[in-house]
Every structure is written in structure tokens, then in C-alpha cells.
Amino acid sequence: MEFTITPLSAHTGAEVHGIDLTQPVKDVVQAQLNRAFVDHSVLVFRDQHLTPDQLFKAVGLFGEVFPQHNSRFALRDCPLVHYISNQDFYADGRRYIPGEGYHTDHSNAACPPKATVLHAVSLPDRGGDTQYVNMHLAYDELPQATKRRLDGLKAIHVYQSRHSARKLMELSSESRSKVPDAVAHPIVRTHPESGRKAIYINPIRTEGIVGMPETEALTLLADLLEHATQPQYQYRHQWRPGDLVMWDNRSLLHKANGDYDMSQRRYLYRIMLQGDLPV
């Protein structure tokens, strides 16, 4: 191997050493990196300092770029790369903290992104960690009766669930026309590369469960979320300048923290990679 891997927790996350993402890699190394991504669900590359164009090229190692839904966050010179910032505000003047509350990205797409990549450009002195929970492990440790109950159930995902505590930024009419009204995805999905099952829910976008009364569905979804977000399923990433972190949306929920000094700028590039139809 031309790189080494250091696990960051017992079940989720690994640091990759020995790769400069501005340089081409051999096919065999590309295959090993893709395998490591599936095995660890979060890969961390330190000290990368890429331009948006370099980031765009680098993620080609792992797949095709997924067009993100809200074009207001697109970088002008490289529109498939978006930004995450704590310096944006809702129309009513409140500060917008992207990514608060556990979720999986863009699950309202028919084929949601398999991966999200963030690259740290500017960070606060402390805080602003990203937390991940491993939904394979959470599924494995469900009671058998719950697994049987979930078998065959599908959840309805929309851009903004009316049950979500967090409100997303409004879509422009142009963005809205490209986003499906609603899609149904299995609540238990099978990872297309590892074959492992995972709980696939998203409190920000899940509106209900197909064929189930609303109160019953919301209770079930809340119980699953409570189970899956227990500390034993978590890896918490503390950011360093130059970090490039990519994670598997098929295997994890994640959330950002708004627990830092908001006068300090937190700014990262974000790019996503196309995934398959969840089954």
C-alpha cells in the first residue's frame, strides 16, 4: 500500500496518510482508497489546502459529482462545489447554521449522494465538530422484533419536512424545478458495496411512512432516531485547517455543531458524489 490508514474510533472513521490529493494516483491505489472508504465510512485527509478546482478533480477518485439542490451556495467559478459558512442569515436576520441536527444529505433525491466531502478553509479556534453515527451498527443492534417490523417499510422524503425542527434555506424557483416533490426510500437499506444493512431515516426530510398513520409513523421514526444517535454509535470529528473529510451517506447520519464563537468565520467547501437508488 502507498498509504496507511489509522482508525479514528472502534467502528467509524479513519485517517489516511501518504496521499497528496493534488497528485494523480495509480489505479490500484484508487481501488484501495475506495475500499477504505466503504470499510470506515469516514475518511480524513489532513493538510490538503486544495483550490475548488483541485477539490473537484480530487473527488473524481471516488465517483461522479452530484449536483447539489440549493444553487445559492454554489461557488461562482466552480458551481458544482458549494460552500458551508456561518456567515449566512435567514431572511428574518437570524444566523443560519448549516447541518444542525442529525440528518443524511439530500435524501429527497431519487438517487441520493453516496458521499459528501467537506474541505476546511477557515475554522473557529475551537468547536464546530461534526458528529457521525454509524447506522449499520445501529441496525445490527436493533431488537429482532423491530427488524421484522421495519422489513419492507418505506419512508417519504421531501425537500423540507413539515416535522423538522430545523428550517432549510428556501430554494429559488429555478432550484425547486429540479428537485423532486417527494420520494419513498426503504427505512432499512443495503449498502451496494459492502452488503451491510443500515437504518436510513432523515428527520429534516422525512415526512412519514408509506401506508402508516402519521402518529404511529412519527413515533417509530423518533424511536429509531433516539436509538441510532446513542454515543456508542458515534464518531466525533474535530476539524483542523486543511482537513478534507469525506463520508458515506449510505452508512451514517451526521450533524454540525453551532457551539463556537460566531464572530469567527467557519467556511468549508462542499461537494457530493452520485449514489444509487436505495434498496
How far apart, in whole angstroms, are the C-alpha atoms of residue 78 and residue 81?
6
Alpha helices, H only, the chain: 27-40, 52-58, 135-140, 144-150, 173-176, 214-228
Closest CB to Fe ion among 99 and 278? Answer: 99
Whether 249 and 42 have beta carbons less than 8 Å apart is answered as: no
Torsion of CA 52, 54, 59, 64, to 10 degrees: 80
42-45 vs 14-17, strand pairing mode: parallel
Whether 230 and 82 have beta carbons less than 8 Å apart is answered as: no
- Told to check if 113 binds Fe ion by CB under 5 A, we report no
Determine the size of the site formed for Fe ion (CB under 5 A): 2
Binding track over 220-249 against Fe ion, x by CB under 5 A:
------------------------------
Closest CB 105 distance from Fe ion, rounded Å: 5
- Told to check if 275 binds Fe ion by CB under 5 A, we report no
Residue of the chain from 81, 82, 97, 105 that contacts Fe ion (CB under 5 A) = 105
Residue of the chain from 13, 52, 99, 275 that contacts Fe ion (CB under 5 A) = 99
Closest CB 31 distance from Fe ion, rounded Å: 27
- Using CB under 5 A, which of the segments 62-70, 97-105, 144-152, 222-230 binds Fe ion? 97-105
Q: Which three cell numbers stand for residue 100?
A: 444542525
The residues that touch Fe ion, with contacts defined as CB under 5 A, are 99, 105
